[in-house]
Chains A and B, each alone.
Chain A
Amino acid sequence: MAWIAEPVYQITVSFKDETGSRAVTSAYVRQGVIFSDVLIRAQSFANTLKAVSNAAVVSYTVSRSWAETEVAPAAGSRVERKGRLVWGAGAYRTRMDVPSVNPSLVLQDGALNRGLDSPTMVALETLVLADFAGDFTDSRGTSIDALVAAYEAYQRSSQNRLPARRLER
């Protein structure tokens, strides 16, 4: 894969007015600036905007992106078909849906093959739970510590249509 970094950090400031309407304004900082300096610029940009607008500044986001130059989706790929990975984070669960999961990973009963004969799934699990342990979290910021389930699901799958074995390894 050839990831090309975008040349800028994008700073997006969100406003909310009295009626609840929202608006956003963006500005850019060149790549190469230390991230902590970008954050300082973002904070002062938000403060400056707040000083000249009577709307409330509710948040700011700093984003950095990489784009893939050679895009080649496989024949028959469909993003509605998901590989659903249910991770454990302490007592909680968090979900990661992978669009158009490779059909070769899907077992007959709908579960994703997580065995040793499935190196890509093993690599993914190792990456999240071991190589970068503590870096991936659930929505509350609790570290992910287990892969609880992995199965194929469609965007509109109802509970009854999901694979029966989805909660087992």
Chain B
Amino acid sequence: MTISLHARYEFVDESGSRSETRVRLNHNSPRAENAALALASALSSISDAALTKVSLLYRHEIPPYEPPAAPFPFRTRVGIKGNNDAYHALLPTSVDGALQIAEFLRDGGFCTASGDDFINKQEVEPVEPNWRSVEWGGASQRYILVLDEQLWRDLLITSMSLDSVSRRDGVSALTGALLRKQVYELLKGVRLEEILERLDEIIAILRSRAENDNSLFAQVDDVEELLNLIISLI
């Protein structure tokens, strides 16, 4: 566990350019806040830029004792109304989790960004899943495929299983990489909704071909042939 306290000083010059300076403070000192503000005046007197903001940042780092379980599966937007403004946050949790957090904030002495009390109303809505973009191509052509997190994971699992088949057949890891690339290519230009609707079908085709015809993965050309077949199916 690491605890640190920093003072951050934000400056702006005549041209509007911004710069900041950080100074570490003793987090056990009872006069750290006074020290930070006194230093603000001293720094301001030796700079001809304008010191616009001083912040005290108390940071508590939690060592990663256990690795996180999975990529963020959900994002949920939470809104809690205050008297004059509202609190908004995007939480890496499900709707149920977000409701728990909203309740915790309402009952736990928190407030909106302007210091308003929460009134007893909250809105929780799931938002779009995480999007992942895959980009590839050369000088003349460039493809960007945007996938949602779950689809991304399914595709990786699929291409990894194909990769393991190709490895078993003695094909180099490069083939696996090519294969993954071609799975992306396979989906280019296809609407996401269509991919989602037909994902099971696509995965089933890939798995079935991998199981039934291992020799198919012996050469990259064969893989291309397989992928072309799937493209024709979509």
The answer, yes or no, to whether A96 is at the interface (CB within 8 Å) is yes
Answer whether residue A154 sits at the interface, using C-beta atoms and an 8 A cutoff.
Answer: no
Asked whether any CB of chain A lies closer than 8 Å to the CB of B129, the reply is no
Cβ of A72: which chain B residues have Cβ within 8 Å of it? 50
Residues of B within 8 A of A123 (CB): 42, 45
- Known contacts A16-B68, A23-B72, A123-B42; A58/B50 CB under 8 A: no
**Using an 8 Å CB-CB cutoff, how does the interface string of A85-110 with B read, 1 for contact, 0 for none?**
00000000010111111110100000
B146 within 8 A of A: no
Contact with A along B27-46 (1 / 0, CB 8 A): 00101111101111111111
Q: Per-residue 0/1 for B100-122: is the Cβ within 8 Å of any A Cβ (1 yes, 0 no)?
A: 11001100111111110000000
Which chain A residues numbered 117 to 136 have a C-beta less than 8 Å away from chain B?
120-121, 123-124, 127-128, 131-132, 134-136
Nearest CB in chain B to that of A79: its residue: B19
For chain B, give the interface size range. Answer: 35 or more
A15 to chain B, nearest CB (A): 5
The answer on a CB contact under 8 Å between B72 and A98 is: no
Besides A8-B113, A54-B69, A63-B57, 14 new A-B residue pairs in contact (Cβ under 8 A), listed by A number: A8-B115, A17-B71, A18-B68, A29-B110, A44-B104, A52-B96, A58-B64, A64-B33, A99-B47, A100-B47, A101-B46, A112-B46, A120-B46, A124-B46
Q: Which 6 A-B pairs have the closest CB atoms?
A: A52-B97, A7-B115, A79-B19, A100-B49, A74-B48, A99-B19
User: Are the C-beta atoms of A60 and B24 separated by less than 8 Å?
Assistant: no
Instruction: Determine if B23 and A96 form an interchain contact, defined as CB atoms under 8 angstroms apart.
Output: yes
Name which of A10, A64, A97 has the most chain B CB atoms within 10 A of its CB: A64
Which of the candidate stretches B9-17, B171-179, B211-219 sits at the interface with the other chain? B9-17
The reply on A21 being an interface residue by CB < 8 A is yes
List the A side residues contacting B57 at CB < 8 Å.
61-63
Residues of B within 8 A of A15 (CB): 68, 72, 92
Q: Determine how close the nearest CB of chain B comes to the CB of A109; give it in whole angstroms.
A: 18
Known: A3-B37, A99-B13. A79 touches B48 (CB 8 A): no
Interface contact B45-A120, CB-CB below 8 Å? yes
* Cross-interface CB contact of A71 among B12, B60, B105, cutoff 8 Å: B12
Q: Are B62 and A41 neighbours in the complex by a CB distance under 8 Å?
A: no
* Cβ of B199 to closest chain A Cβ, rounded Å: 20
Contacts of A61 in B (CB 8 A): 57-60
In the complex, are the beta carbons of A103 and B48 less than 8 A apart?
Answer: yes
> Bound state CA distance, A75 and B159, in angstroms?
60
Number of residues of chain A lying within 8 A (CB) of chain B: 86
C-alpha gap A48/B14 in the complex (Å): 45
Which residues of B lie under 8 Å from residue A148 when comparing CB positions?
none
Which residue of B has the minimal Cβ distance to A62?
B58
Chain B residue with the shortest CB-CB distance to A70: B50
Q: Is B168 an interface residue (CB 8 A)?
A: no
Of B83-91, B136-144, B221-229, the stretch lying at the interface with chain A is B83-91
When the two chains form their complex, are residues A52 and B100 in contact, meaning their CB atoms are under 8 A apart? Answer: yes
Q: Which of B35, B41, B60, B69 contacts A132 (CB 8 A)?
A: B35
Q: Is B183 on the interface with A (CB-CB < 8 A)?
A: no
A99 to B21, CA, bound (A): 8
Query: What are 6 A-B contacts defined by CB distance under 8 Å?
Result: A37-B109, A52-B100, A73-B14, A78-B15, A134-B26, A136-B35
Q: Give the shortest distance, in Å, between B113 (CB) and chain A (any CB).
A: 5
Given the complex, which residues of A lie within 8 Å of B41, measured CB to CB? 1
